[in-house]
Amino acid sequence: MNLSLGERFHRRELEDLAISFLVLVLLFSNFDPYNIPYVVVAVLTAFIFHELAHRSMARRYGYVAYYKRWDTGIVMALLLGILTKLLTGGVWIFAALGAVYIYAPYQYWEDKEAHGKISLVGPLTNIVIGIVAIIMMRAVTPLTTLWWVLRTTASVNLWLAFFNLLPVPPLDGWKVLRWNTGYWAIAIGVAYLLRAFI
């Protein structure tokens, strides 16, 4: 069966998202099958929603945008996770497994504002999900399964927001900082402080 270019493109993006998602589930679950059910919702909302927010905003600007996994990052993340699990019992997470690639076929200059907003919308999505999870966590019985799912969801989303806002290329924080220092400072500060409420 011959697939069109668009269908092959779509299938590859879904495959890349799925592989990155599964690796992050392993890492955030500390390679413990018992933790996986708690982590699946957290990684789904933190990673998939984050990347789709980038892609959606980029397409609003008329750019060609799609998620592509970074195999080197995936191997590094797994090796670091396994090594730190063996040495310390905990997993250090390297979360740069891929990114939304953006192309502007008819634009020959870099639009810092557009790229800043595209970069900011991913961590903002994580912050909003983190806030919703914290509010819901306060409304359910503590230490129940649902409470742990919500706590994990808040924790992973806010950690991912903070990590991505670090002002280091090629992370989101670098592009946001280059566009607007004030928005970057507020966003990373909120992500950091909200983690104290978990």
Q: What is the pLDDT of residues 124-161, one digit of tens each?
A: 999 999 999 999 999 999 999 999 999 999 999 999 99
Task: Give 7's pLDDT tier (boundaries 50, 70, 90).
Answer: low
Place of tokens 């566009």: 179
* Residue where the block lists tokens 């059910």: 37
The total of other beta-carbon atoms located within 10 Å of residue 96's CB is: 16
Three-class SS of residue 188? helix
Residues in contact with 61: Cβ distance below 8 Å, sequence separation at least 6, in sequence order: 104, 111, 114, 118
- pLDDT bracket for residue 9 (50, 70, 90): low
Using an 8 Å Cβ cutoff, are 165 and 184 in contact? yes
pTM over 0.75: yes
Q: Determine whether 51 is an active site residue.
A: yes
**d(C-alpha 130, C-alpha 100), whole Å:** 22
In whole angstroms, give the CA distance from residue 85 to residue 28: 11
Q: Which of 7, 15, 51, 110 is catalytic?
A: 51
Q: Which two tokens stand for residue 177?
A: 């900082």
**How does residue 8 score in pLDDT terms, banded at 50, 70 and 90?**
low
Model confidence at 3, pLDDT cuts 50, 70, 90, reads very low
- Per-residue DSSP letters for 16-75? HHHHHHHHHHHHHTTT-GGGHHHHHHHHIIIIIHHHHHHHHHHHHTT-EEEEEE-HHHHH
- Banded pLDDT at 5 (limits 50, 70, 90): very low
Token pair listed for 106: 């008819």
